[in-house]
């Protein structure tokens, strides 16, 4: 193994951390090895500080400032830093003893890193510090221990999702993508199943239906009336009948017996009839008694893309919660293969400060999914608005550029594996670069995620080109019209 010494241990150390001093500039996140007590231990460089022993004194003293301005390296400079000890290069076991002072810090050999990162089943990309090292992660741990993908807009979340989904297809997996922006259907996965977000009311629960009809949680009378009509209509579909007309008939019949009702009951029934009619207009073609069960449409070995781009938040909430509820149920009874449910815009469906139906099921799957092979992937550009409970159940995290300190703190609270130093790197990441931590990777890594080979929509549009194109088209139409008028006029004389 080629030995390149970049520093030596100084001062006090623990089995998990050592300080070092060096003359060479290394970079935070770089892997190093330390040879002591007969074992080669892998570590990660953190918290670098650079200084010079020849400059000392009060930095507000003009003489010292003069000295700093003239500093050209005479008297030397030093780099101080910390090494987080990640474990033995073979077993990744944390050493039992701390490294003694004077232990050499060596740049890690890429072959050592390659051995560590090649054991996974899902290829994510390459190490930022060693582009020759391919990084793969463990699919089993990713699915069973859930994943969060967090970053500001445009940092590369959808690209990462696409890379993972394509890898899952290769593994004959069952990724289900809740596609909030209609970007994945045409993305170019090697196998894709596009699923219309249709729901058959026969499979809907009353609480799901109630959200769609928009009956508030305190509207007790409306809820009671609607529940009765919903039950009757469900029975009606079983006999081959229709759904909404049956609900309206039922409600009209109740309205017909108005003499026995109080004023507020009469108002409530009129209100609920209006709401059901609005529901019918709003979700025409989506709530369909002839639609197949949405879960029966999912396919193993394909990207199952549920297109939610054209539906409102309430409908997305119902679809997602419905699929999660049924999936958990069917996995319990072993009726379907393990799945990986990817939820884009997770802060809308599982918000920190509001209760939604999806949030309940996301939280339940986050807690119980592991036992039944139901994996969750929460994707969000606003982590601080995302439910902390669900987020902290994600034992794997891929974080790309994230600038807001409050977002960073929220993420760190949810993931004990994210050290202050890794957190500090998030500001400086470029598009497609990520901090990868959690059970799916043997050690934390800074990774350049592969670029997805398909044609994912969502790259920044060339706005000025679009303006120019529209203006040219308008001008062309204007000229054409002028010519038509001229021809018409000339034809008349
Ligand atoms: N790993 C990568 N390598 C190269 N280019 C990338 C990579 N990741 C992202 N990009 C580029 O950045 C653009 C934006 O990425 P992407 O759509 O994945 O961002 P996003 O985080 O999902 O944004 P949004 O929050 O708006 O959904 C992509 O179209 C692509 O051109
Ligand atoms: Mg995206």
Nearest CA to ligand 1 atom 10: 156
Angstrom distance (rounded) from CA 8 to CA 18: 10
Q: Which atom of ligand 1 is nearest to the CA of 457?
A: 29
| Statement: residue 281 has pLDDT above 60 | yes
Contact 146, 377 (CB under 8 A): yes
Specify the pLDDT at position 490.
86
Ligand nearest to the CA of 164: 1
Interval between CA 161 and ligand 2 midpoint (Å): 9
Question: What is the separation, in whole angstroms, between the first and last Cα of the chain?
Answer: 94
Stretch 156-178: mean pLDDT, rounded?
Answer: 97
User: What does the pLDDT look like over 316-351, one tens digit per residue?
Assistant: 999 999 999 999 999 999 899 999 999 999 999 999
For residue 158, report the distance from its CA to the centre of ligand 2, in Å: 4
Other CB atoms closer than 10 Å to residue 77's CB: what's the count? 15
DSSP string, 376-439: EEEEES-GGGB-HHHHHH--EEEE-----HHHHHHHHHH-TT--HHHHHHGGGPPTTEEEEEET
Q: Between residues 472 and 241, which one has the greater pLDDT? A: 472
- Which ligand has the shortest distance to the CA of 151? 1
Interhelix angle 206-213/313-332, rounded to 10 degrees, is: 170
pLDDT exceeds 80 at position 460: no
In 367-491, where do the E strands start and end?
A: 374-380, 396-399, 433-438, 445-449
Nearest ligand 1 atom to the CA of 156 is: 18
The pTM of the full predicted model, rounded to 2 decimals, is 0.86
Q: 84 with 46: CB under 8 angstroms?
A: yes
Q: Of all atoms in ligand 1, which is nearest to the CA of residue 458? A: 17
Residue 175 pLDDT greater than 60, yes or no: yes
Q: Is the four-CA dihedral 38, 42, 46, 50 of positive or negative sign?
A: positive
What is the whole-number distance in angstroms between the Cα of residue 85 and the centre of ligand 1? 33
Of residues 342, 336, 344, 346, the one with CA closest to residue 298: 336
Q: Who has greater pLDDT, 336 or 51?
A: 336
Contact present, 27 and 44 (Cβ < 8 Å): no
Ligand 1 center to 451 CA (angstroms): 9
Which residues line ligand 1 at a C-beta cut-off of 6 Å?
A: 151, 153-159, 381, 431-432, 449, 451, 456, 458-459
* pLDDT tens figures, 369-381: 999 999 999 999 9
The per-residue pLDDT of the chain, averaged, comes to 89
Give φ, ψ of 140 to 5 degrees.
-60, -45
Which residue has its alpha carbon closest to ligand 1 atom 9? 156
pLDDT in tens, 423-442: 888 888 999 999 999 999 99
Nearest CA to ligand 1 atom 2: 432
In whole angstroms, how far apart are CA 78 and each of 10, 29, 52, 99? 13, 18, 6, 21
Nearest residue (CA) to ligand 1, atom 11: 156
Low-confidence winner among 46-60, 109-123, 201-215, 428-442 (lowest mean pLDDT): 46-60
Q: From the centroid of its chain, how far is CA 484?
A: 54
Å from CA of 27 to ligand 1 middle: 25
- For ligand 1, atom 14, name the residue with the nearest CA: 154
18-22, 204-208, 234-238, 473-477: which range is least confident on average? 234-238
The per-type count for the chain, helices as H runs and strands as E runs, is 15, 17
Find the range with the poorest average confidence among 33-47, 213-227, 320-334, 452-466.
Answer: 452-466
Residue 183 CA to ligand 2 center (angstroms) comes to 8
Which of 226-235, 277-286, 317-326, 453-462 is predicted least confidently? 453-462
Q: pLDDT category, 457, cuts 50, 70, 90? A: low
pLDDT band at 258 (very low <50, low <70, confident <90, very high): low
Closest ligand 1 atom to residue 400 Cα is 21
Tell me how far the alpha carbon of residue 329 lies from the centroid of ligand 2, in angstroms.
29
Biggest alpha carbon–alpha carbon distance for the chain: 105
Closest ligand 1 atom to residue 181 Cα is: 27
The mean pLDDT of 263-277, rounded to a whole number, is 86
Average pLDDT over residues 386-394: 93
Quick one: which ligand is closest to 157's CA? 1
Pocket test for ligand 1, best of 128, 156, 343 (most atoms within 8 A of CB): 156
Half-sphere exposure in the Cβ direction for 115 (13 Å, CA):
10
Ligand 1 centre to CA of 158 (Å) is: 6
Beta carbons of 326 and 295 less than 8 angstroms apart = yes
| Percent share of the chain, pLDDT over 90 | 58
CA 258, CA 482: separation in Å to the nearest integer?
65
**How high is the pLDDT of residue 349?**
95
Q: Name which residue leads in pLDDT, 414 or 151.
A: 151
**CA separation for the pair 490, 377 (Å, rounded):** 67
CA 387 to chain CA centroid, Å, is 13
């Amino acid at each position: 193994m080629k030995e390149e010494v970049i520093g030596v241990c100084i001062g006090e150390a623990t089995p998990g951390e050592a300080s070092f001093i060096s003359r060479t500039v290394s970079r935070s996140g770089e892997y190093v090895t330390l040879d002591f007590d007969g074992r080669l231990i892998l570590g990660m460089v953190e918290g670098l500080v650079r200084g010079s022993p020849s400059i000392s004194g009060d930095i507000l003293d003009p003489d010292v400032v003069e000295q700093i301005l003239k500093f050209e390296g005479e008297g030397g400079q030093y780099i101080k830093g910390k090494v987080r000890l990640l474990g033995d290069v073979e077993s990744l076991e944390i050493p039992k003893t701390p490294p003694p002072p004077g232990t050499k810090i060596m740049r890690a050999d890429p072959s050592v890193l390659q051995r560590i990162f090649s054991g996974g089943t899902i290829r994510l990309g390459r190490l930022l510090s060693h582009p020759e090292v391919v990084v793969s992660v463990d699919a089993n741990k990713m699915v069973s221990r859930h994943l969060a993908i967090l970053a500001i807009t445009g940092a590369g979340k959808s690209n990462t999702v696409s890379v993972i989904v394509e890898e899952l297809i290769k593994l004959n997996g069952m990724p289900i993508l809740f596609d909030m922006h209609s970007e994945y259907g045409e993305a170019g996965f090697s196998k894709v199943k596009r699923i219309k977000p249709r729901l058959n009311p026969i499979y809907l629960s009353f609480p799901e239906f109630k959200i769609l009809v928009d009956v508030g949680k305190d509207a007790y009378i409306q809820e009671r009336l609607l529940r009765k009509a919903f039950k009757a209509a469900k029975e009606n579909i079983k006999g081959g009948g229709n759904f909404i007309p049956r609900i309206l008939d039922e409600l009209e019949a109740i309205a017909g017996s108005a003499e026995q009702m109080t004023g507020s009951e009469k108002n409530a029934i009129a209100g609920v009839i209006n709401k059901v009619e609005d529901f019918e207009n709003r979700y025409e073609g989506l709530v369909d008694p002839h639609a197949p069960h949405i879960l029966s449409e999912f396919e193993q070995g394909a990207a199952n893309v549920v297109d939610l781009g054209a539906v409102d938040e309430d409908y997305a909430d119902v679809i997602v919660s419905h699929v999660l509820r049924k999936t958990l149920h069917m996995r319990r009874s072993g009726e379907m293969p393990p799945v990986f449910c990817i939820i884009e815009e997770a802060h809308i469906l599982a918000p920190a400060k509001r209760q939604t139906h999806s949030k309940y099921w996301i939280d339940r799957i986050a807690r119980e999914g592991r036992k039944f092979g139901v994996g969750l992937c929460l994707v969000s550009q606003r982590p601080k608005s995302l439910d902390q409970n669900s987020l902290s159940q994600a034992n794997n995290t891929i974080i790309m550029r994230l600038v807001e300190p409050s977002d960073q703190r929220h993420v760190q609270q949810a993931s004990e594996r994210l050290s202050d130093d890794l957190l500090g790197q998030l500001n400086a990441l470029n598009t497609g670069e990520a901090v990868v931590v959690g059970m799916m990777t043997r050690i934390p890594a800074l990774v350049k995620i592969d670029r997805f080979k398909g044609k994912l929509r969502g790259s920044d549009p060339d706005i000025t080109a679009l303006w120019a194109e529209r203006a040219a088209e308008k001008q062309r139409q204007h000229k054409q019209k002028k010519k038509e008028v001229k021809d018409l006029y000339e034809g008349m004389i």
